Amino acid sequence: MTPAEQSAEARRICALAPVVPVLVIEDLAHAEPLARAMVAGGLPALEVTLRTPVALDAIRAMAAVEGGQVGAGTLLTSADVKAAKAAGATFGVSPGATPALIAACEDEGLPLLAGVATATEVMTLLEAGYTAMKFFPAENVGGAAALKALYGPLPQAAFCPTGGVSLKNARDYLSLPNVICVGGSWVAPRAEMAAGNWSAVEALAREAAALRG
């Protein structure tokens, strides 16, 4: 998969909804009902972070939910990429970008949202042919104001800001011309997941899905 193809597919996935849920799944039994709640609430693109022992199995379970588009987050190594693709991930998200990680995603045909935090990192990915990126950690590196400033010299770059994004500030990001969507974990509170309160999770997803613009 070429960088242009990767970016086109990443943009398509990001455009499915204004919010990509960033999910940390500790209990495998939560995976399928969580995916169903998110999709029913209007958030089909799901990022499952590879931070727990059950993450890959969760991706497998969630990939079977109709209407969902499941990706793997916290990709750090080539091995992570191969494992994520084998588990059924259809896109990948990383906190940064290394040549080895990018090459692995190209080899595996896994669209990648690579993380950037500075203009130099944005320019480096643009030179490599990537136009869709994750802006991380968004709030810590200047928030919506920083992305607004980047748009002037680098309008060809499109972002999914993640890190400190919440219901309170999501619209600040989504109103910017260079933001396709935002990534956030607030739509899947641990307490509601632990309680199996999937109707509450679906309601949060529905609220997030209505944030566009």
Single-letter residue type at 135:
F
- Let me know: does 49 contact 31? Beta carbons within 8 Å: no
User: CB neighbours of 113 closer than 8 A, spacing ≥ 6?
Assistant: 10, 14, 91, 92, 93, 94, 132, 133, 134, 160
- Let me know: does 176 contact 147? Beta carbons within 8 Å: yes
Catalytic residue among 85, 108, 134, 202: 134
In 3D space, the residue among 131, 142, 130 whose CA is nearest the CA of residue 103 turns out to be: 130
Single-letter residue type at 26:
E
Q: Any catalytic annotation for residue 134?
A: yes
β strands within the chain, DSSP E: 19-23, 45-49, 69-73, 91-93, 112-116, 132-135, 158-161, 182-184
Cα separation of 93 and 136, whole Å? 11
Q: Any catalytic annotation for residue 47?
A: yes
Catalytic residue among 47, 106, 108, 192: 47
Active site residue ranges: 47, 134
